[in-house]
Structure 1
Amino acid sequence: MKYRKLGNSGLKVSEISYGNWITHGAQLEDVLAKKCVFAALDQGINTFDTEDVYSDTRAEALLGTALKGISRESIVLSTKVCHPTGTGPNDQGLSRKHIFESCNASLRRLGTDYIDIYFAHRFDPHTPLEESFLAFSDLVRQGKILYLGVSEWTAAQIKEGARLSKRFNIPFVASQPQYSMLWRVIEGNVLPACAEAGIGQMTWSPLAQGILSGKYKAGHSLPTGSRALDETGSRFLERLAGQWMQYDALDAIQRLIPIAHECDLTLPQLAIAWILQNNQVSSVIIGASQPEQIQENARASGIVLQSSIMQRIDEILDPFIERNPECTG
């Protein structure tokens, strides 16, 4: 496993992170979920990502239990705040009240004294940004969070956040956007804004909700055990990857498999390695329903793809790539 600095900070994260969105506490039994965490540790993954609302808080609690007994100093732990955690009017957003209450609740569930990277998971248009960043600043001073990040913010929102982070002296170092061979909406505006502010990327959905695994084939039934057959997964697949569930796009993805084999990689490994060719990416967050998936995908760390390979990938996928920056968020 290779490690990269997160933005301009001194924090080193593994090139591959393990995230437990829609797996821990939902798709996976507790024992299997813990085996996935242990498999990640065995592969040298030091960075773990979760959120307070994943599986109605069960994901945080399960990750905290799985990591119990692991040296806290040896891992980088990130979680998020913004989405609704209850039915009350203050149970969501980035108000000072919700930030403080959510952070304390996450600390309890994770069984830790501090969060390495605390992400503002979406922009909150209903709360003054100064209020949010002052709250984050206070949590930094209290030692409850070490670094601040944002997820799915636009370039303009990131620039304003960077300005306020300097004003309040907050180590704002991370962005967590969706990014893959097929989803490149951050390249036009978000990446330049982050580069200017010294913010690194911890990207999610490297396989475009499984589309880039190659398991979905035009004219074939959905494969047994695929996310598309799960009620929760099918909803996300329709929302995030439905545009590629068409014959031409699926056929193009199948044409990537020989390229992956030329590089002695599987298609998922090629998809993850492709993201890591971007030096603004600090880490790629992967999910898994089996420990073997983590073992396979972790091998994408350290892979260098030739420019000719990158060009061939672009030529095949070009008609299906989403680049519209307005899709951010």
Structure 2
Amino acid sequence: MLVSLQAGSLIAPAYACGCGAMVVNRNSQVAVDRETSAVGWDGRTEQIVMQLSVRGNAPDAAWIMPVPHRATVELGDAELFDELRAITAPVTEERHYFWPRDEDWPLGGSGNSAGDSAAGPKAGAPVDVVGRERLGPFDVARLAATDPEALESWLKENGFELPDRLATALRPYVEQKWEYVAVRLAPEQRGSTLSGTLDPLRLRFASDRLVYPMRLSKLAATPQSLDLYVLAGHRMEPRGAIGGRPPKVSFAGRVDPANEPYEALAAVTGDKPVFLTAIDQYFPSPERIDGDHELRATAEDTPYRTVVYRDTLLTWAGLPAWLLTLLGGAVAVASALLLVVRARRRRPVTPPPPVFTPPPLR
């Protein structure tokens, strides 16, 4: 299971978002504020539950996603993402420091301190429409293409405007004979603009490897952040950085959805326990992305959880420990000096020895 969270920026007419690309007409703009995708794989079948949060002035938009094999599409469960965020949330622990910092009294604070992403084609056409359906606010078309330019023409004829550079980005998938899911996004009320969090879509397709499509993200004009939540039999890791900074693990551990109140997750995993690995990665230069993410099992299933520390000034009875220590030390020194003085005052004075007068000389 992979979950990607990506923040977007205002786009016109195309934007790369995670495993797909968003397309609008040239007179419109749309921002993908967040893309959340959950991807599961059992060794034979891969499934992706994808949800978009968008805003802008576009009356509609198209989202294009490549898949290695023919996909089935249905509405997903939005509760899945809340459950995954709850499972992988960092643990907060409190730790104390002794000496005051800049925000503490008397250096500047008040004494309280705490550190604080269906119409068929014409005969002989290089694009085959393998299915088209209406799912809630989505108009979903599943395509098989042998030529990026032909795919672009078909999308334009059916209301999906495709920028020229996207055809080039799609070529590696065409060469691998991948298929595409094209989704028209439109507001529920006519005359309004596309905005808000859309219902999630759930895609399923055959796959002999765990892969997360990332090539289209190289079209992004701004840095990209990707969070991958992997649900598999073992702890997983990417095979490479694919042009980004080294991936980092933020969570790793075994999860049994049957023993927890995670109904949406249980529906995805079939009530089976899985090993969850959360991986974070940053792409400062998206144009350097050179492939898709492939994940493999690590040598050991080592658990890990991110810990967020809340730094707090050590206190005793509500008073800073350092102040009490200094006061206690001062009192101890003063007491010791007082005892020394008193001891000296009470000590008896020893009289001088008697003076011996020698006898007179004769």
Is TM > 0.5 for Structure 1 vs Structure 2?
A: no
Question: Quick check: which has more Rg, 1 or 2?
Answer: 2
Q: Please, what TM-score do these two structures have when normalized by structure 1?
A: 0.28
User: Could you say which structure has the higher helix fraction?
Assistant: 1
